[in-house]
Structure 1
Amino acid sequence: MTMSLIQKYNVPGPRYTSYPTVPYWDQDSFTPEQWISSVKQAFKESNDTEGISIYIHLPFCESLCTFCGCHKRITKRHEVEQPYIKALLKEWDLYCKEFGETPVIKEIHLGGGTPTFFSVENLTTLIKGITSKGKIADKHEFSFEGHPNNTTKEQLQALFDLGFNRVSFGVQDYNPEVQKAIHRIQTFHDVARVTLWAKEIGYTSISHDIIYGLPFQTLSHIIDTIEKTKSLSPDRLAFYSYAHVPWIKGSGQRGFNDSDVPKDDEKRLLYEKGKELLLNNDYVEIGMDHFSLKSDSLYKSLNNGNIHRNFMGYTSSKTKVMIGLGVSSISDSWYAFAQNEKDIEKYYELLDQGTIPVVKGHILNQEDLIIRKHILNLMCSLSTDLTEDIDKVDFSKTLEEMNEFEKDKLIDINNNTIRVTKKGRAFIRNICMAFDLRLQANKPDRQLFSMTI
């Protein structure tokens, strides 16, 4: 990869877990009533055939990791667990009343924060409370994010007994200097212990998250981290680019200087070397930032054409309806997006009033739905065909940029079909940005997104 291409395309850009992206939601024309109406429509259309997905945000952490961009509350007071679980179940009950019939639960994902902050008893109460009002789909996928330092064998066993078959452990990097900078101290022994427990219990998909571009990280650190990871053979890997956005995340990313963070070619080299090591050890590149073994459901869904991308990242199946429960959670009805209140106390107040705690969102218009489809095609299948929509949306600016990508050998264009080349995979965010008509129409006057490379 030439330096000139990195210099040319290394600009701020979204990761496209949604379209439109959150900063471009039309909040002025959004109402909670419209949101509920869209949920009812999508639920009626798809519950019997697809089922629904549920994302549950568990925001508490005992300490702050400075690389993290998630909404969280730092506390060591575990008495916060039960009131929060009670609130989640109250929110779920409000949605179930709107559904009008029993939901078929295809996916559950526990994110954070730190889901394993919660005790076995409280996690059990939560999941039983959710599933008692629904029917678990035959080929369901329940997953959670585990912190290697505080995930217990009892938690792993209890969640497995409740139907969980996937777990993701945050590794980030094994180097002590890097760990100190990001305030995430954990040893290889800690990660190995919880990984082997999960294998022993019977989890069918174990994932590790690794981040490149962290402060003080060097090529030798990436090589060491991936060598150690290989020895544990996780079924899939998320190999993320560190999103250095201290202007958004505040003091949490000011524990080191900007000059300590690898940039441009130096950062990209970390990814290319990591990718090379993964590909040489039987991992397949699934999509942006994701790799898996061929035995994993994510690889099988890629081959079957069922892979999907949403606010949870890549998933092995698609549901129209994804309900987000908990503070800051984002929901998707396919026709609309909605985000919950971020402040825990205000979240509780809304629920006490019998109100679904949605405070902002976006109703997708016809153009949004078309663009969303093509961005999803590119992110999931690395190709898209504009033929059906070329007369419905003004793609003139998009096609101008496609010509430039084609000159740089990042894509191939055949009639109206656009295919991302092997070289172009590194620039998938840039390629998708060319379809982002809302971004093109209203360029931000300040940096909203992390750098694309």
Structure 2
Amino acid sequence: MATSLIQKYNVPGARYTSYPTVPFWNETDFSYCQWLQTFQKSFAESNANDGISLYIHLPFCESMCTFCGCTKRITKNHHVENDYINAVLKEWILYCDLVHQKPIIKEIHLGGGTPTFFKPENLKKLIEGILITATKAPDYEFSFEGHPNNTTYEHLKTLYDLGFRRVSFGVQDYAEEVQKAINRIQPFHNVAKVTLWAKELGYTSIGHDLVFGLPFQKIDDVKDTIEKTQALQPDRLAFYSYAHVPWIKGNGQRGYDEKNLPKENDKRALYEFGKKLLGDYGYHEIGMDHFALAKDSLHQAMKNKNLHRNFMGYSASKTQLMIGLGVSSIGDTWYSFAQNVKSIEDYYKLLKNNLLPIDRGHILTEEDLIIRQHILNLMCHFETSWSEKDNNLPELPDILAQLREMEKDHLVTIDPSSLKITAKGKAFVHNICMAFDLRLKRKIPETPLFSMTI
């Protein structure tokens, strides 16, 4: 890839797990009552069709990984588990009390933090407490994130028996120097052990999460990590760009000097090398930063144009309503977003008073909904169209004018009623989406909000 293109387009930009992005939510006009109204509307629509999704945030970790940008609480005190599980179940019941039908659950995802910080019996208590009040959709999909250092066979077996068939393990990188810098010492044999256990138990989609752009990371490190990964044959992979945002995440991302991070050209070289190597090993590129074997449901969804993206990442199916449970979780009714408080103490206090622990949110406008769909199309299918009246915007001529420079650089092709991202342009999908981001254009941030796009 030409160095000039990297320099030209390497600007701060969002990853677009939502539109509008969180920094541009209109919190002033958001209200608790509006969230409840859109929740009830979306629940009725979703429950009558595919069912709903649950994202459950389990925030505890025994140690701080300095690359991580997630909401977490560092502790070795496992007595915190029971109170937190009870609080999440209380939050779930508050949502159930708002509707007049038994929820049909299509997706559950346990994220963190470290879900496997919790004992297997407590995870069982959590899932059984939810399922006793709900019905599983015929094609339900339950998944969780496991830390290779503390995921036990009992964790995997307990969750498998509860219906979980997808698991992802955080690998990041196997180089010792990189692991020390990010405070994530994790030998290959730990990852191999949990991966083989999951295969033995019958998990049908096992994923590994890799990260490029980490401190001290070199091409040989990426090569070694991917070769070790290929030996274990996970079904899908995430190959993420490290987002360096210490001004947001505080001291957690200052465990190393910024001069130790690969610079823009070197960082992009890590990704291009890794992507080619993954392709050589039979992994197909899915959307942005994801790869899967041909047999995996994520690859099938991409082929069938069913791929979806939300706060949980890429999914092989779409639900209109996603309820976020736990501290910092974000719920999505399609018409609105709401994020829970980030303090565990505040979370407990609100639930004790029988209040949903919502801290902030955004009600989507008609314009937001149109742009959201365009960005989803670009992120999932690398193309979008405005041939229908419902997909058109008054600002579309200005958006296309901004994209003409990218067309000259052969990153996109623009027709009268559609846009397609070229193979060369896939590396710049963030930048292409930014052309549609009217909220960003109307309020250019004065301080850093996002990591660099490349």
Give the alignment's TM-score, normalised by structure 2: 0.99
Unaligned runs of 5+ in 2: none
Structure-2 separation of matches of 1:253 and 1:427 = 25
Structure-2 separation of matches of 1:23 and 1:73 = 23
Aligned AA for 1:380?
C
Alignment of 1:421-440 (within 5 A): 421-440=422-441
Alignment of 1:221-240 (within 5 A): 221-240=221-240
Give the alignment's TM-score, normalised by structure 1: 0.99
Structure-1 separation of matches of 2:110 and 2:74 = 18
CA apart distance, 1:359:
1.2
Give the aligned partner of residue 356 of structure 1. 356
Give the aligned partner of residue 200 of structure 1. 200
Q: How many residues end up aligned between the 2 structures?
A: 453
Unaligned runs of 5+ in 1: none
CA apart distance, 1:224:
0.3
Indicate whether 1:242 and 2:249 are aligned.
no
Give the aligned partner of residue 218 of structure 1. 218
Structure-1 separation of matches of 2:35 and 2:359 = 11
Check 1:142–1:391 CA distance in 2 against 1; reply closer, same or farther (3 A cut). Answer: closer
Structure-1 separation of matches of 2:268 and 2:313 = 21
Check 1:54–1:228 CA distance in 2 against 1; reply closer, same or farther (3 A cut). Answer: same
Give the aligned partner of residue 446 of structure 1. 447
CA apart distance, 1:391:
5.1
Give the aligned partner of residue 160 of structure 1. 160
Give the aligned partner of residue 107 of structure 2. 107
Give the aligned partner of residue 377 of structure 1. 377
CA apart distance, 1:396:
2.9
CA apart distance, 1:416:
1.7
* Contact 1:367–1:393 under 8 Å retained in 2: no
Alignment of 1:24-103 (within 5 A): 24-103=24-103
Structure-2 separation of matches of 1:410 and 1:99 = 46
- Indicate the SS of the match to 1:208: strand
- Indicate the SS of the match to 1:122: helix
Structure-2 separation of matches of 1:207 and 1:32 = 37
Q: Which moved more, 1:307-316 or 1:385-394?
A: 385-394
CA deviations on 1:338-366 (whole Å, 9 max, x unpaired) are 00011000100000000011110000010
CA apart distance, 1:450:
0.6
Structure-2 separation of matches of 1:357 and 1:36 = 12
Q: Percent identity?
A: 62
CA deviations on 1:321-351 (whole Å, 9 max, x unpaired) are 0000000000000000000011000100000
- Indicate the SS of the match to 1:214: coil
- Indicate the SS of the match to 2:451: coil
Indicate whether 1:415 and 2:416 are aligned.
yes
* Contact 1:50–1:319 under 8 Å retained in 2: yes
- Indicate the SS of the match to 1:99: coil
* Contact 2:370–2:392 under 8 Å retained in 1: no
CA apart distance, 1:393:
3.3
Give the aligned partner of residue 134 of structure 1. 134
Check 1:245–1:123 CA distance in 2 against 1; reply closer, same or farther (3 A cut). Answer: same
Aligned AA for 1:155?
H
CA deviations on 1:288-325 (whole Å, 9 max, x unpaired) are 11000010010111111111000011001000000000
* Contact 1:32–1:359 under 8 Å retained in 2: no
- Indicate the SS of the match to 1:323: strand
Aligned AA for 2:421?
V
CA apart distance, 1:388:
2.2
Structure-2 separation of matches of 1:297 and 1:253 = 34
CA apart distance, 1:263:
1.7
Give the aligned partner of residue 285 of structure 2. 285
Structure-2 separation of matches of 1:330 and 1:408 = 37
Give the aligned partner of residue 150 of structure 2. 150
CA deviations on 1:196-245 (whole Å, 9 max, x unpaired) are 00000000000000000000000000000000000000000000000011
* Contact 1:81–1:118 under 8 Å retained in 2: yes
Give the aligned partner of residue 268 of structure 2. 268
* Contact 2:386–2:392 under 8 Å retained in 1: no
Structure-2 separation of matches of 1:255 and 1:428 = 30
After superposing on structure 2, the runs of 4+ consecutive aligned residues of structure 1 that deviate more than 3 Å are 389-393
CA deviations on 1:229-275 (whole Å, 9 max, x unpaired) are 00000000000000011111111111111100002110000000000
CA apart distance, 1:394:
1.5
Structure-2 separation of matches of 1:391 and 1:411 = 19
Structure-1 separation of matches of 2:99 and 2:292 = 35
Structure-1 separation of matches of 2:398 and 2:186 = 48
